[in-house]
Structure 1
Amino acid sequence: MSLYVDADACPVKDEVERVGTRHGLRMFIVSNGGLRPSRNPLVEMVIVPDGPDVADMWIAERAGPGDVVITGDIPLAAKCVEAGAQVLKHTGEALTAANIGNVLATRDLMADLRAADPFRQGGGKGFTKADRSRFLEALERAVRAARQSVT
Structure 2
Amino acid sequence: MKIWVDADACPAPIKEILFRAAQRTKLTLTLIANHAMRIPPSRNISLQVVPSGFDKADEEIVRLAQPNDLVITSDIPLASDVIDKGALALSPRGELMTRENIRSRLNMRDFLDTMRASGIQTGGPAALSQSERQAFANQLDRLIQQSLR
TM-score (norm 2): 0.92
Could you tell me how far apart the structure 2 residues matched to 1:146 and 1:82 are?
Answer: 19
Runs of 4+ in 1 over 6 A off after TM superposition: none
Could you tell me how far apart the structure 2 residues matched to 1:95 and 1:125 are?
Answer: 19
Q: Deviations over 1:29-53 (max 9, x none)?
A: 1101141132122111100000111
Q: Which residue of 1 aligns with 2:142?
A: 141
User: Within 5 A, what are the aligned runs for 1:1-151?
Assistant: 1-11=1-11, 12-117=14-119, 120=121, 122-147=123-148
Instruction: Give the letter for the 1:135 counterpart.
Output: F
Count of aligned pairs between the two proteins: 147
Q: Deviations over 1:114-151 (max 9, x none)?
A: 11125x27422111211111100011122233445xxx
Q: 1:3 to 1:77 in 2, by over 3 A?
A: same
Could you tell me how far apart the structure 1 residues matched to 2:147 and 2:60 are?
Answer: 20
- The gaps in structure 2 that reach 5 residues or longer are none
Could you tell me how far apart the structure 2 residues matched to 1:21 and 1:75 are?
Answer: 29
CA root-mean-square deviation: 1.5
Instruction: Give the letter for the 1:130 counterpart.
Output: S
TM-score (norm 1): 0.90
- Identity among equivalent positions (%) equals 35
Q: 1:97 to 1:122 in 2, by over 3 A?
A: closer
- Mapped contact 1:91–1:134 kept (Cα < 8 A): yes
User: How big is the shift at 1:63?
Assistant: 0.9
- The gaps in structure 1 that reach 5 residues or longer are none
